[in-house]
């Protein structure tokens, strides 16, 4: 796949992440909470600061997502009110820039999944964050 196409996919993913942060999406808040918990363990990727976020996002984007994460039962998430730090956007953007250079295959993977399923990028990322939250105690991620 051409570099230009990968950069387009990266821009789409970054835009979707920005949207989720802007919306104060509870799935992002849960992801950040789990990431923070796991960052306390020096043996996990999460403990590596920005480098850890890049690795975790790359792993998540490469993950296969069970259908149940796209259609969570109940609406408990929608009842949670959160306020996300706007600086999170920049952290996500930085991680995506590194992913473009090191792990472009994960961006290609997410695009292929979207083409096959017709899912929106925002929905895909929200499901990935739910998956991470539910599996936060698994070592390593």
**How many Cβ atoms are within 10 Å of 41's Cβ, its own excluded?**
12
pLDDT (0 to 100) of residue 140: 57
Sorting pLDDT into bands at 50, 70 and 90, what band is 3?
A: confident
Asked if 13 contacts 7 with a C-beta cutoff of 8 angstroms, the reply is no
Q: Is the pLDDT of residue 35 over 80?
A: yes
Q: Of the candidates 20, 35, 4, 22, which has an alpha carbon nearest to the alpha carbon of residue 104?
A: 4
Sorting pLDDT into bands at 50, 70 and 90, what band is 123?
A: very high
The residue with tokens 């789990």 is 34
pLDDT (0 to 100) of residue 126: 95
The domain ranges of the chain are 3-134
Asked if 61 contacts 106 with a C-beta cutoff of 8 angstroms, the reply is yes
Q: Is the pLDDT of residue 39 over 60?
A: yes
Sorting pLDDT into bands at 50, 70 and 90, what band is 85?
A: confident
pLDDT (0 to 100) of residue 139: 57
* Cα gap 64→124, rounded to integer Å: 10
Asked if 27 contacts 92 with a C-beta cutoff of 8 angstroms, the reply is no
The 10s digit of each residue's pLDDT in 43-52 is: 888 988 778 9
Pull the structure tokens for residue 134. Answer: 């539910």
Asked if 107 contacts 115 with a C-beta cutoff of 8 angstroms, the reply is no
112: Cβ contacts below 8 Å, ≥ 6 apart: none
The 10s digit of each residue's pLDDT in 52-84 is: 999 999 999 998 889 889 876 655 555 556 788
> Rounded to whole angstroms, what are the CA distances from 50 to 40, 53, 87, 92, 118?
14, 5, 12, 9, 31
* Cα gap 48→29, rounded to integer Å: 19
The 10s digit of each residue's pLDDT in 125-138 is: 999 999 999 988 77
């Amino acid at each position: 796949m051409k570099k230009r196409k990968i950069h387009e996919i990266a821009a789409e993913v970054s835009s979707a992440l920005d949207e989720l942060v802007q919306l104060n999406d509870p799935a992002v808040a849960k992801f950040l909470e789990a990431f923070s918990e796991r960052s306390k363990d020096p043996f996990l990727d999460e403990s590596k600061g920005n480098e850890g976020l890049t690795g975790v996002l790359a792993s998540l984007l490469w993950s296969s997502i069970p259908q149940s994460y796209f259609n969570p039962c109940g609406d408990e998430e929608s009842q949670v009110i959160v306020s996300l730090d706007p600086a999170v956007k920049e952290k996500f953007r930085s991680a995506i820039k590194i992913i473009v250079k090191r792990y472009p295959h994960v961006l290609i993977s997410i695009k292929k999944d979207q083409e096959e399923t017709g899912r929106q990028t925002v929905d895909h990322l929200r499901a990935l964050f739910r998956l991470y939250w539910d599996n936060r105690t698994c070592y390593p991620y």
